[in-house]
């Protein structure tokens, strides 16, 4: 998985921040293809690594 720093502003707006060391893992799943692959694995019953 990946890490992000999340916080809420005025209990209405969530802001997510990633420092450079967090980006490689985040970018592995932050693409349309990665999301499609994840959903396909869930439908087939396979747990993603």
Residue-wise pLDDT for 1-49, tens only, equals 788 899 999 999 999 999 999 989 888 888 899 889 888 888 887 665 5
Per-residue pLDDT at 48: 58
Helix (H) or strand (E) holding 16: strand 13-17
- For the chain, the domains span 15-43
R_g of the chain computed on alpha carbons: 14
Q: What is the dihedral of CA 49, 8, 23, 37, to 10 degrees?
A: 40
Spatial separation of the C-alpha atoms in residues 2 and 13, rounded to whole Å: 21
pLDDT at res. 35 = 87
């Amino acid at each position: 998985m990946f890490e992000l720093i999340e916080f809420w502003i005025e209990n209405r707006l969530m802001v997510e921040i990633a420092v450079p060391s967090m980006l490689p893992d985040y970018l592995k799943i932050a693409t349309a293809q990665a999301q499609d692959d994840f959903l396909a694995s869930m439908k087939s019953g396979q747990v993603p690594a």
